[in-house]
Structure formats: C-alpha cells, structure tokens
Amino acid sequence: MTAAPRSGGVGGRAPDPRVHGGDGARIAASLGLDPGDVLDLSASLNPVAPDPSAVVARHLDALGRYPDPAAAAAALAGVMAVPVDEVLLTNGGAEAISLVAAELGGSVIEPDFSLYPRGGGPVWRSNPNNPLGELAPADAEAGVWDEAFWPLATGSWTRGDHRRGAVVVGSLTKLLACPGLRVGYVLSGDADLLGRLRAAQPEWSVNGLVCSALPELLAPVDLAAWRDHVVDLRAGLADLFRGAGFTVRDTAGPWVLVDGASWLRDALIAQRVVTRDCTSFGMPGTLRVAVPRPTDLPNLRAALAAATAER
C-alpha cells in the first residue's frame, strides 16, 4: 500500500486535474516525487480494506498461464448470492462501462461520473451518486446502475436491479482498494445481452492475477463491518475540514465534499496531498476528498493545517 508522505511542502505548480480521480502518481511525477510520498485522496477507495499485496504475491505463478476467469466469476457470484450466469467479470469498472455503453448507449442526469455515455439511450445512474454521494430512493429507476460504491455505502452487495430489467456495473477495485489490479463486473438477468457483451470483450481481458487471486481476496470481505467503519472515518474527516472553517457536505460514499475551496487543491498538493477537483462535474470550487486510511489521517491533518496557515 502507499507509504505515508514525508513532511514538508513542495514547490511548483501542480498539473491540472483529470476528469476523474487517481491523480496521485501523475502529480508525484510532475513534482519529482515518488508516488509513495504522496497521499492520494483523489481516488475514493475502501480505507479499511486489507492490504492485497500478500494475497496477490501468493498467485504470481498465474503470470505463466493464460487466464481463465471461471473460478473468479464463480467466487464473485457466490458472495453476491447471484447465479454465475448473471455475472461477467471485466478488466475494471471502466471496461464494464465501456462494454455496456457500446451495446446500449446512454444518457445521464448531471452531475454524474465522466465515463458514462452522454447521448441517446437508457439513463445511467451511479448509486450512490458520484460526486454528490446521495443514495437513490428505493423507487428510483434507471437503465444502467453503477454500484461501484454501493457495498461500502450500504453493507450489501447489490440493490438487485439486474433482476428488474436494468443492467448493473460495478468495480471491485474500489471495494478491495486495488485499482492497479483491475477487476469489475456486469450483472444482468438478460442472458442474450451478457452473451453479446462477452463476445465484444477481448480475449483474456481479465488478467491472470485477478483470475487466480480473486477468490482469496473476497474471502475476508465483511461488508457490514466495513460500512460501519467507513461511516465513522467519514465523520472524522468531515469534522477535520469543518474545524478548519470549511463547508462540508457529508455523503453515503467513502468521501466528503468540501465547498468554497477552489484554492485548496493546489495548497494541499504543495503539502503532498491530492484531492479531486469537481469542476468537471460542473461544481467549481468543490473538492471531493476520499476518506483516508486511519494511519493517514495525521498526515492529512498536518497538511491541512499547513495549507490553511499559508492562506
């Protein structure tokens, strides 16, 4: 996992934000830093997930074989309590979105995640909404639901809309805090649709490490406990920013929104902390700040104090 940033600010102007998070390594490189010297809170990952490194290390022999996703798909279907023929593993949530978008098209009600299609077709909704962090009402409908953050927000695997005619996409890399491993999924009760998506998927799309390690990575998952822990950590994060004088919007996801902070992104980057600028969501002046791991909170507290002291 990422090492704690060393204390002390850095000079130079940070690169402009991308249209989605995960900017830590890019910004570290632009500042001449090692990625481990930057606390990346622009990507909203599970702050209480076990370190996957030891598990993945036990499966390195998979690098010498062509991947077969059957066992991994069966493991995911098992923990989700859905038939395996309703699950398609993908190379991260991004591939799930790309496959479904190419097949169905789509539209959104802004603000919503940048990777969704914005043309004609069914309505796509992230649940909880990214960036607002609001859970959809129980009677809300959509053609495609993105449940990347649903497990951490609710303590359950899925709302089950794939059994009511909708398509569901998800990202295990958020839940397991391993975005470099790339594992996502599509849920659908429409066998013909899943067949077309599978046919459109490149051969060996899901890498061998995922196919081999996923059953073991899923074994310790405790959604209810992780949800409760995230709730507590998120409250502490909100209190930290409110205590520094900022207006904070709480969410159901593993992040908070900090308003009136257009200057704060660069100020925190100078202290080796990266947050998510929400201008691309149509929310200029708002930052999305991921809930940090408990061990990283002191680094964030120190960085925020230094950033506001220089204001």
pLDDT along the chain (311 residues), means of 10: 49 60 80 89 96 97 97 98 98 98 98 95 98 97 98 98 97 95 97 98 96 98 98 98 97 97 94 94 95 96 95 77
Q: Which residues pair with 255 in a beta bridge?
A: 290
Residue keyed to tokens 């001449």 = 32
Rounded to two decimals, the pTM is 0.92
Helices (H), the chain: 24-30, 53-57, 70-80, 92-104, 150-154, 172-175, 191-200, 208-218, 223-243, 264-269, 297-309
Rg of the chain in Å (alpha carbons) = 19
